[in-house]
Amino acid sequence: MKFNKHLKNINNYEAGKPIELVVREFGIKEDEVIKLASNENPNGVSKKALQALNKSINFANLYPDDSMFELKNSLSKKYNILDKNIIIGSGSDQIIEFIIHAKTNQNQGILVSKTTFAMYEIYAKHSDTKIFKTPSGIHNLNEFTKIYQENKDKISVIFLCVPNNPLGECLDAKDVYEFIKNTDEDTLIVIDGAYNEFAAFKDENKKINPKIISEFKNAIYLGTFSKLYGLGGMRVGYGIANENIISNLAKLRAPFNITTPSLAAAIAVLEDEDYIYHSLNNNLIEMKKFEEFAVKNGIKFIPSYTNFITFVLEKQDSTQICNSLLKKGIILRDLKSYNMNAIRITIGLKKQNEIVLKHLKELL
């Protein structure tokens, strides 16, 4: 059977290994596995979200509210924006897919950093569109500007991952705003803020305010409930932009793309301020332990504004390190798929981190 030729050039996204795989392959008890590979919230699901989930199951026989009024209303209050400026997706990556299909074609492509979230490139390849990359792995706005100015007629979408996954570095908000000012109104600037809450908690200068959509008509801010809010398994994300952008993206959204339990959990966790603060504070405290470990043991790392840290290895092989840890029930993310000899470690709970650092010291 024949398929479109451009599919041959697409590699599947490499997700973090599941706990079940380690249990099956190495016979390790499920509660002894430490998964720090996918940047999930190690604090589990918030109590308020769990209560909402349990209640929502009673309505599992009914389709969800396709207008998603309650969740949009909660987000509009949080960010002081209008409901019509919000679109809800099955994870923020679904909205990325909408953007690619809505704005790109074989003549109008995307501009991304050399090393960034893989789904930008994968979705672009779905549409057989052009992909422009900066020379540097981390976000360098001078490089973005140069490539954009030289290929303005060929670039319709620019992705800024703020902070950047899988590296962890983060642009200052003022520099992002200045960059947007110098782009054409028909070029869509995507600010992927999947980890921006962590960045803002660590450094106010990194905070991107979604209300920038009132100033920049060609910008869209993406957020997710998979990281800070602890709902990776629920698959809920959102986009915030002016009404024209949102209404066009909405044409690509399938009906009922978010489940009733997912909506209920997302609404509830937005109100759980104690859970949110505890998650942010635990991340900041525990992150310092990984930084101190790296400095003490001469390991190169990228200063991170996320809930993970990237160790760049010089002598050891990242795949061998990750495989050795896997046999001990520790799941980390090997970045070889990004052409990097590096490992990305989600910041876990205190006890988890102590165990991981103990084994890393033995191996590194």
Domain ranges of the chain: 5-45+274-363, 47-272
Interatomic CA distance for residues 274 and 288, integer angstroms: 22
Catalogue the long-range contacts made by 132-141 (C-beta closer than 8 Å, 24 or more residues apart). Answer: 137/113, 137/167, 137/340, 138/113, 138/164, 138/167, 138/169, 138/302, 139/113, 139/164, 139/169, 139/171, 140/113, 141/171, 141/175, 141/176, 141/179
SS3 339: coil
Q: Residue 33: what pLDDT?
A: 85
Q: How far apart are CA 298 and CA 292, in angstroms?
A: 10
- For residue 253, what pLDDT is reported? 94
CATH of 47-272, one of 3.30.70.20, 3.30.300.30, 3.40.640.10, 2.40.50.100: 3.40.640.10
Q: Is there a contact between 46 and 234 (Cβ–Cβ < 8 Å)?
A: no
The Cα–Cα gap between 292 and 42 comes to 21
Answer yes or no: are the C-beta atoms of 46 and 254 closer than 8 Å.
no
Q: What CATH superfamily is the domain 5-45+274-363?
A: Aspartate Aminotransferase, domain 1 (3.90.1150.10)
pLDDT at 262: 97
Distance CA 261, CA 63 (A): 11
The alpha carbon torsion through 68, 69, 70, 75 (nearest 10 deg) reads 90
Maximum Cα–Cα distance across the chain: 56
| Residue 23 pLDDT | 65
pLDDT of residue 241: 97
CB 144 within 8 A of CB 162: no
Structure tokens at 252: 């690509």
pLDDT at 22: 65
Residue 327 CA to residue 335 CA, distance in Å, equals 18
What is the model's pLDDT at position 103? 96
Whether this prediction's pTM lies above 0.85 is answered by yes
Contacts 24+ apart (CB under 8 A), 143-149: 144/111, 144/113, 144/179, 145/179, 145/182, 147/111, 148/111, 148/183, 148/187
Return the pLDDT at 17: 67
Low-confidence stretches of the chain (pLDDT beneath 70): 3, 6-7, 10, 12-17, 22-23, 25-26
